[in-house]
Amino acid sequence: MNDAEKPAGSIARVVAAARDAGLAIEVRRMGASTRTAEEAAAQCGCSVAQIVKSLVFQGERSGRLYLFLVSGPNRLDLAKAATLAGEPLKRAEPRHVRDETGFAIGGVAPIGHRIAIPAFADETLLGFDVVWAAAGAHDAVFAAAPDALMNAAKAKIADIAEG
Ligand code: 5CA
């Protein structure tokens, strides 16, 4: 297991990134899987729409990674996403995500990545008082006000969902 896979190190990066951004968070280890938005919502006692999916895509031309923060039930609209990124996108390989961000799929957080990643956020998330996101491990989550979270993630708010 390398550093990227150690939950404690990954969670610590999320906590440090939040602190650096002036965002007060409390990471909760649920003791059960929060890998999917549905599982996370069940554990958090919130709606699936309040779960922030942190989806990593890769530019077909540049190879750069891009982060899309999408409300649980929504699907990322790849055409809209590509327009924002300025290049066609493909889903990043799980191993590449882990190596570059330091987070394994299912625990990818919106903040605390090893590398700086341009981020875009689903505008529908702003309609909630509180949203929940992965905190760097597949059983770890934290709650935040969506505007403060997107500010900490330096995410551009946009129409990125299908439909
Ligand atoms: N912890 C939960 C909610 S906070 C979570 O991380 N949800 S998630 O949606 O952000 O992460 C799961 C996502 O990983 C899936 O929606 C899917 O888009 C992505 N994913 C699952 N399998 C793969 C894969 N093989 N390659 C790339 N991405 C994948």
pLDDT at 7: 78
Separation of 56 CA from ligand 1 center, angstroms?
Answer: 9
Q: Which atom of ligand 1 is found nearest the CA of 40?
A: 3
For 111-152, what is each residue's pLDDT tens digit? 999 999 999 999 999 999 999 999 999 999 999 999 999 999
Residue 76: pLDDT above 70? yes
The two structure tokens encoding residue 87: 């290049």
Separation of 22 CA from ligand 1 center, angstroms?
Answer: 27
Q: Which atom of ligand 1 is found nearest the CA of 132?
A: 4
Q: Which atom of ligand 1 is found nearest the CA of 72?
A: 9
Residue 108: pLDDT above 80? yes
Determine which residue's CA is closest to atom 1 belonging to ligand 1.
35
Q: Which residue has the higher pLDDT, 7 or 40?
A: 40
Separation of 125 CA from ligand 1 center, angstroms?
Answer: 17
Determine the Cα–Cα distance for residues 109 and 124; give it in Å rounded to an integer: 18
The two structure tokens encoding residue 7: 């939950």
Q: Which residues line ligand 1 (CB under 6 A)?
A: 34-37, 40, 51, 53-55, 91, 94, 105-108, 133-134, 141
Superfamily of domain 3-158: YbaK/aminoacyl-tRNA synthetase-associated domain (3.90.960.10)
Q: Which atom of ligand 1 is found nearest the CA of 52?
A: 4
Helix/strand/coil (H/E/C) assignment for every residue in 65-91 = EEEEEEECCCCECHHHHHHHHCCCEEE
pLDDT at 4: 46
The mean pLDDT of the chain is 96
Determine which residue's CA is closest to atom 26 belonging to ligand 1.
94
Q: How confident is residue 74, by pLDDT bands cut at 50, 70 and 90?
A: very high
Determine the Cα–Cα distance for residues 84 and 10; give it in Å rounded to an integer: 28
pLDDT at 155: 98
Local structure of residue 3 (DSSP, 8 states):
G
Separation of 106 CA from ligand 1 center, angstroms?
Answer: 5
Q: Please state the domain extents for the chain.
A: 3-158
Q: How confident is residue 6, by pLDDT bands cut at 50, 70 and 90?
A: confident
pTM (2 d.p.): 0.96
Instruction: Name the phi and psi angles at 162, rounded to 5.
Output: -65, 150
